[in-house]
Chain A
Amino acid sequence: MKILTLIRQVPDAEARVRVQGSAVDLEGATLVMDGMDEYGVEQALRLKEAGAGTEVIALAVGPKRNEDALRTALAMGADRAIHVETNVALDAIALSKLVAQIASQEDASLILAGGQQADWDSQALGAATAERLGWPQLTWTNGLEVQGDKLVGRHDVDEGNESFEVSLPAVVTTQQGLNDPRYPTLPNIMKAKKKELRKDTLEQYGVQPLARVVGAEIQARARLGKVIDGKDAQAAAAQLLELLRSEAKVLA
């Protein structure tokens, strides 16, 4: 069974996000493989190590710099990588068309994608890809095993969580708690340099964006940033309750 694992390269959680003109400017920001996608790579590797997978293929679509994220996936243990290099920003529905084509070409039986990456805050790619392929999908998964031709696991839903069972092929989106991703070791980083990283172009897949970003702004609400002295607990409590009444107006 081939496993396709999708990678996005996003700003590090601590990185400062800037807006230039009407778009987010990532120039100079520290960029990393998205944390949620890391759970996907790790899970793919674990399934392969458990005998359920034969090959793990990492896929990224985006600018040249995405090679770094793919090399990280290869250094973690992915067998090979595909990079569709483009500067066109694709929305999730458009991107799913490309991912579905690659999954079919590669004859993949399982696709792992991040639940909601730290750049576009979208949850749509996994489900849209599943629909294009006619596969079921499991989102916000925090437990996953392969048993024969079935996937068994646990995931979060609207009002709690569910255990599930579903036939392969399928799409699974990840979240924190699924596993503890490994760090690439130096020997594996060296080995990764020799692994295949195929370059494709967007034109090969005939995909156009369906929605476009026309503006971006950082709307940090101006916070009061006032400090109440906590040494006298009773006085601090009285002051805070008064503020909740008079300023926030949430208490009678």
Chain B
Amino acid sequence: MIEERFDAIVVGAGMAGNAAALTMAKRGMKVLQIERGEYPGSKNVQGAILYADMLEKLVPNFREDAPLERHLVEQRFWMMDERSHTGLHYRSDDFNEEKPNRYTIIRAQFDKWFSGQAQEAGAIVLCETTVKELVKDAYGKVIGVITDREGGEVHADVVVLAEGVNGLLGTKAELRDRPAPDNVALAVKEMHFLPRETIEARFNLKGDEGVVIEAAGTISRGMTGMGFVYANKESVSVGIGCLVADFQKTGETPYDLLERFKKHPSIAPLIEGSEVKEYAGHLIPEGGYKAIPQLYGDGWVVVGDAAQLNNALHREGSNLAMTSGRIAGEAIFQVKSRKDPMTKENLALYKKMLDDSFVIKDLKKYKDMPDLLHIQSQNFFLTYPQLINKALQNFVRVDGTPKVDKEKVTIKSFVSARSWTGLFGDAFRFARAWR
């Protein structure tokens, strides 16, 4: 295959891999990027929201030619029971700014463009090639990879593992464990196509304005999980995801859950009459700070989903991936500039730089949240959404019942479902995990 030796090999052409490859190639490093898909993006799945700031640090003028769908002017959080939803909506014309803050994207198209940026900077991208194994020297230092191409061994000073949440290489090489069922969620998603005027009318949008809906409640049937509806230009991304451990325990099927979500009276009118063109499934890292594996070693670093870098609460995954890829690239370049070897000791710089960034600071802040939401999933995803929706219906329905009596009914429903101790305990535990 390729005879020459590289400064760095990047495994994977998703957000993290492309950011790492671009960062290093821009600085004149000789980078080989290996992608198993037909083209960068053809194996990648996301909701998907793109945060501009993290991309701007890599491609300052990305708005000129990146394939973006809609810039977000509105965010809806819905707490759902079987027939209702209680919503918190934030919409602001401030988001119609010259340089919008968030966009919806379609990953297969976006990644192709993003990889193009890395290639323009000089990275060599080899597609349709699966990396089968890491190559280590006699001292255990990673010195390259073995691909499924003929004579497919290729060497580099350092390997950046951007292989995604289901990274096999790192596990096979005993650099990290396979993700545990309670640290990953399985999400399924469909792409629903509609004329853009229809989307704009249904979602109250004009031009390229966009809206996203995040939904939790009885739609996950007591499992820790969330649904989402994202408006793209001419399509709507609809999906739902729950912890794999919960699926395993309950025996729920993901596509059954998705169908029920689509049929919910609050969701169905948004996608009515659409043409579905794709069905995808993907794992999402949900373990948070406590699930982060060893991030570097002799001759290697791990970035993005493979390193479990995802802020589930804020639904920030791809920007953590992008940022960790960029930081890894910068750290590697610094080590190389000093003409130092890519040892574990020297690559610790990556971890140090990541610790100083928002990536680890944010994950640390919510380190107790995954456990809380999982252990309390019946309360947070079934009991409370039902109670809250019932309370709101009671509040808005006018039927001649005195308001004092209405309040009594609502309070009683909360206390009989959770008891005073339970209610205060839940509030306390939630506040503590949030802090």
Partners in one complex: no
Residues of A with Cβ closer than 8 Å to B? none
